[in-house]
Structure 1
Amino acid sequence: MREPACGNIAVRMYRGILGDCFLLRHDEAGQPRHILIDCGVLQGVEGARDRMKTIVDDIQAVTGGDLDLVVLTHEHHDHLSGFSYEKERFFGDAFDIHELWLAWTEDPNDPQAAALRQRFTRTKAALTKVVQLDALAMGDPRIGTVQALSAFIEPLPVDGPRKTTVDLLREKAGGRTTRFLEPGDVLRPERLPTLKAMVMGPPRSEQRLRKDAPSKGAGKEVYLTDLEEAFAVEDRARRELGEEPLIAELPFARPYQRPIDEARHSWTELAYEGVEQLYFAEPNVWRRIEGEWLDGAESMALKMDSDTNNTSLVLAFELPDRQVLLFPGDAQVGNWLSWADQTYPREASKEHPLPATRDDILSRVTLYKVGHHCSHNATLREFGLEKMTCPRLVAMIPVVESVARQNDWKMPFPDLLDALLQRTSGRVVTGDGDPEQERAVFADNPSDDRYPATLAHAEDGLWVELTIPYEKCRKGTG
């Protein structure tokens, strides 16, 4: 008769939302403790608010309103909107947040973080104006791209000073129990000391933060938005909407400027009309440039989406037997590459005489939360998945293919999904998977002969849960 596992950790993924919402459950000295990692649903998903209400009902029922640790990986709607949809409960009396972990990018007293927020805020403002153009029936597909990507971005407060979701979370948790984490930090949740967390990202390096795609070339690598570009796009969108422009000055000195209407009736009228007729002539449609600024808006939306993903807080939770559960948020290329820039912790100590390396950590991953709904550029191959060599590996993908198809997104990306299925011997669960098929795969291909991961599904399809056993209960906190 085999010896029972020393303990286990349950990871519940909420389904049907194309968003990240994970509830971890672990016993500490016989007392159940809970970690909530993100809680969001993509904007525009049918029935999103009702679904999120049901999810928060379940979270409250399981935890009794005690959230021992809340982790917010990054500021995208599909990771944090649940907190705002159910703000009366999360920020009222229904829940207690005992500890809050955020990336260093959320630290209000960090100068580098403040510069990033300034860029993102200006870009959000510009994209909000561009999306409004769709109401004018401009019909340009580039506006559609901006609109689709804006579904991931948390909207700006409409009245300016209103608090963001992150502000409210910080207030709820309180300053003493809010931590802003740096790459290379190694720490333990106050109420879950059995677990050790290694902070792998986001990087401090501007070069790493700016690297969003794996290869160079047009459309392959995008960078953080310049303030000037965001300012110009918002100004043009305001003009199209008939609003007060941001840029009052033109590139010519005032003595040389003439209002168009005045110029029409001046002595240059004939010359002006000739140019006008030539410009708007049907054979010259391909030469017109008045809509080209939308290329910049489309590119900026892509950059905003990727750059926010690259600020994801990446956590590797180590179990007592050194198994690792990897939660990378939506980290993209630069974030992943930066994991090799430091050890964990950054320096050796009495508690950690041999700091862990990226390769060591990835080789011990037994549960991988797949980044960005299994998109093409949120899981590295050579320096990521191929280093996850543990035969016990299982994967969870928060994706809903029907919603992704509506937006022409390849989620899950076929090549990556194939690689995941091969690496895990098929042990992959998704946000819209067939429970019967998933259970069959886990039964036919157990993750371990002695202590396999086990699978459970809610009868109503609300969640899927993986329980990861560990076989050693180490003494101390090393």
Structure 2
Amino acid sequence: MAKKTTAKKAAAKKAPKKTKKAKKAKKVASKKKAKKPAPDAPATAAVNSTLKPPPGGAAVRMYRIGHGDCFLIAFAGDNPDKPAYALIDCGYKPGSPAKLKPPTKVADIGANILETTGGFVDVAIVTHEHQDHVNGLTSTNFPDLKVGKVWFAWTENPDDDVANQLRKKFKDRLLGLIDERANLMGLGNNAAAGELDWYLEFELGEEAEKYNGLAHAAAGGKDPAKSANKVAMKYLRECAPQDPEYLYPHEKIRPIPGANGARAFVLGPPRDIDKIDDLDPIGDENFGHEMAAAGAGGTPAGPTTSPFPRRHALPLDQAFTDDKFGDFFEKRYGSSPVPEPGDGKEISSNAVWRRMTADDAMDAGALALAMNNATNNASLVLAFELSKNGKVLLFVGDAQAGNWRSWTDGEFDDGGKTVTATDLLERTVLYKVGHHGSHNATLKGKVGSGRANLAVMAKGDSATEFVAMITAVEAWAHQKPKPDWNHPLPAIKQALVEKAGGRVLQTDSNLPAGPVGAGAAGWQEFISRVTETPLYFDLIIEA
């Protein structure tokens, strides 16, 4: 004992004496350590790789990737110790992850998915070919990813005649817009050209800050098939040992690879070009009359399609000298337009109002917006049923009005029993909200209308469990001058909050503060099923 005491004293003598300054710093540090978190601080869990579904149920991980979609679903598997994993989309709008608090990194999300799944995803699904759904699918973010099966919509099938018509129509529109951009640059209208850049970014997948040079290259013959979006989808295909499966609506009920009892019902997109071009809600499908004719960002939309195929168009700089049509254009749109005459007098064939100015060319933005919306409307729509006649998880991508209306155009044969879209919607307990809560990607409607809409969802026991997930970062969506989008539309957000009793999870928001209306009864049970981290929300769904 004496030796220990002596040694202790000796050590104390060797140790430097603490100054008043050091003692004061220690007290301050001690106070900081003991300080309690603010009452409104979110209760978050440490990020980890565990995603385990309950027996017969599922666990849904909604990644906070930014303004975009990335979901990992763990279904109860054939092997109780190994879930079946489904990855649905992985993309974001550039700049949006930095608007989250704290900011997220897509590489961290990729690493978490690889760790969670052990590097193997049973089925990887792309809903549609837009930047904010696919641009995270790179070898950098997912090195050595292995995939059992890849599911695409039928619109990606190279052997489908209707899909090929859509591809040609899309390419004609895209090349037309690229040409229009070049014309606008030639006219010195950089503002209008920049407007088109914004929309072209969606379709080609390049980041805005890099895009100007690529747009010039595109005008000189860039192949849209080599766009960043196409490259991302190609990488995903190469992660699987076999070709993708192309899914058709109402064709058949598909088992989830590796899952024990879970099945997928394909509701959309419709195999009908007119319905894919049918974009906007009508009548009581609208959430707010003021948005009835609005585009993706809440700005009025123009014509939904161009009336002229590319083969019937002439570049502006060739119109007046063309051997076949030059005289026609000179007489009606020539260099010496005639002012409009007074009332009752014949209008000249070269009236000034026939000419289109550079400012008028801003209308190309309306065509670009229509093209973007048509791509959204070609979204793969899946209703995942956890067990026969059981709970349903509805993932709609960015499906818009025409896609929604088509869900009730067909039925499913389940061993002699008919399953309808209405039946699936009534059993829905989770709705991945369409297009970040945009006005035309959730239909309001009424029960008994015979069409899919929010009012039909979550009936009976499903109503007490219904949860909505909105993939939106409002600080990014609302910034000006771009994008200045109403994502989510307040009327839709409010309707979801009311329907779900407050059980709404949004990418940029903490857990909801409390229940709304009838949500009070099961609120604590809901909270017990949710885990929040800076990287994701997890939601457990019991069988």
If the TM-score is normalised by the length of the shorter chain, which range does it land in? 0.7 to 0.9
Displacement, 1:140?
Answer: 6.4
The separation in 1 between residues aligned to 2:379 and 2:183, in whole angstroms, is 30
The separation in 2 between residues aligned to 1:341 and 1:188, in whole angstroms, is 22
Match of 1:180 in 2: 246
The separation in 1 between residues aligned to 2:319 and 2:355, in whole angstroms, is 24
- Which residue of the other structure, out of 311, 314, 320, is the alignment partner of 2:378? 311
**Moved runs in structure 1, 4+ residues, more than 6 A?**
132-137, 245-248, 254-258, 276-279, 284-288, 448-453
Match of 1:401 in 2: 474
Q: 1:220 to 1:122 in 2, by over 3 A?
A: closer
Displacement, 1:174?
Answer: 4.0
* TM-score computed with the length of structure 1 as normaliser: 0.78
Match of 2:125 in 1: 71
Displacement, 1:126?
Answer: 3.4
Residues 359 and 387 in structure 1, CA contact (< 8 A), matched pair in contact too:
yes
Match of 1:223 in 2: 304
Aligned residue identity for 1:465: D
Match of 1:122 in 2: 172
Q: 1:431 to 1:183 in 2, by over 3 A?
A: same
Displacement, 1:122?
Answer: 2.7
Residues 54 and 540 in structure 2, CA contact (< 8 A), matched pair in contact too:
no
The separation in 1 between residues aligned to 2:125 and 2:385, in whole angstroms, is 16
- Which residue of the other structure, out of 464, 475, 499, is the alignment partner of 1:423? 499
Match of 2:83 in 1: 32
Displacement, 1:253?
Answer: 4.9
* TM-score computed with the length of structure 2 as normaliser: 0.69
Displacement, 1:421?
Answer: 0.6
- Which residue of the other structure, out of 405, 415, 436, is the alignment partner of 1:337? 405
Larger Rg: 2
Aligned residue identity for 1:223: T
1:457 is the counterpart of 2:457: no
- Which residue of the other structure, out of 91, 95, 101, is the alignment partner of 2:151? 101
Instruction: List per-residue Cα deviations over 1:81-132 (Å, max 9, x = no partner).
Output: 101xx33454x5x110111111110001111101111121232233345556
Displacement, 1:462?
Answer: 1.3
1:466 is the counterpart of 2:542: no
Displacement, 1:227?
Answer: 6.0
- Which residue of the other structure, out of 176, 197, 207, is the alignment partner of 2:264? 197
Displacement, 1:447?
Answer: 4.8
- Which residue of the other structure, out of 132, 139, 146, is the alignment partner of 2:196? 146
Aligned residue identity for 2:148: H
Q: 1:418 to 1:180 in 2, by over 3 A?
A: same
Match of 1:290 in 2: 357
Displacement, 1:230?
Answer: 9.5
The separation in 2 between residues aligned to 1:445 and 1:249, in whole angstroms, is 72
Q: More deviation in 217-226 or 406-415?
A: 217-226
Q: 1:82 to 1:358 in 2, by over 3 A?
A: same
The separation in 2 between residues aligned to 1:59 and 1:5, in whole angstroms, is 19
SS at match of 2:151: strand
Consecutive unaligned residues of structure 2, counting only runs of 5 or more, are 1-52, 207-213, 284-291, 294-299, 341-350, 446-451
The separation in 2 between residues aligned to 1:248 and 1:356, in whole angstroms, is 61
Q: 1:125 to 1:168 in 2, by over 3 A?
A: farther
Match of 1:412 in 2: 488
Displacement, 1:192?
Answer: 1.9
Displacement, 1:357?
Answer: 1.0
Match of 1:475 in 2: none
Q: More deviation in 32-41 or 211-220?
A: 211-220
The separation in 2 between residues aligned to 1:446 and 1:21, in whole angstroms, is 31
What RMSD in Å do the two structures reach over aligned CA positions? 3.8
Match of 1:374 in 2: 437
Q: 1:256 to 1:232 in 2, by over 3 A?
A: closer
Displacement, 1:207?
Answer: 2.6
Q: 1:229 to 1:357 in 2, by over 3 A?
A: same
The separation in 1 between residues aligned to 2:195 and 2:491, in whole angstroms, is 24
Residues 452 and 469 in structure 1, CA contact (< 8 A), matched pair in contact too:
no
Q: 1:291 to 1:422 in 2, by over 3 A?
A: same
Match of 2:455 in 1: 386
Displacement, 1:146?
Answer: 3.0
The separation in 2 between residues aligned to 1:254 and 1:139, in whole angstroms, is 27
Displacement, 1:53?
Answer: 1.3
Aligned residue identity for 1:371: G
How many residues are treated as equivalent by the alignment?
Answer: 428
Aligned residue identity for 1:455: V
Q: 1:193 to 1:142 in 2, by over 3 A?
A: farther
Displacement, 1:434?
Answer: 1.8
SS at match of 1:19: coil
The separation in 2 between residues aligned to 1:186 and 1:428, in whole angstroms, is 29
The separation in 1 between residues aligned to 2:157 and 2:136, in whole angstroms, is 22
Q: 1:278 to 1:81 in 2, by over 3 A?
A: same
The separation in 1 between residues aligned to 2:325 and 2:175, in whole angstroms, is 27
The separation in 1 between residues aligned to 2:470 and 2:426, in whole angstroms, is 20
The separation in 2 between residues aligned to 1:417 and 1:25, in whole angstroms, is 27
Q: 1:424 to 1:278 in 2, by over 3 A?
A: same
Residues 23 and 35 in structure 1, CA contact (< 8 A), matched pair in contact too:
yes
The separation in 1 between residues aligned to 2:63 and 2:311, in whole angstroms, is 35
The separation in 1 between residues aligned to 2:266 and 2:303, in whole angstroms, is 25
1:87 is the counterpart of 2:139: yes
Instruction: List per-residue Cα deviations over 1:133-189 (Å, max 9, x = no partner).
Output: 78789566654543333343234896536463333333332445x210111031112
Instruction: List per-residue Cα deviations over 1:243-268 (Å, max 9, x = no partner).
Output: xx79983663579979xxxx9xxxxx
SS at match of 1:199: strand
Identity of aligned residues (%): 33
Residues 73 and 87 in structure 2, CA contact (< 8 A), matched pair in contact too:
yes
The separation in 2 between residues aligned to 1:246 and 1:26, in whole angstroms, is 60
Residues 66 and 97 in structure 2, CA contact (< 8 A), matched pair in contact too:
no
The separation in 1 between residues aligned to 2:83 and 2:302, in whole angstroms, is 44
Displacement, 1:372?
Answer: 0.2
Residues 22 and 39 in structure 1, CA contact (< 8 A), matched pair in contact too:
yes
Residues 224 and 307 in structure 1, CA contact (< 8 A), matched pair in contact too:
no
Instruction: List per-residue Cα deviations over 1:204-244 (Å, max 9, x = no partner).
Output: 123311210123997568534456269859x45xx6xxxxx
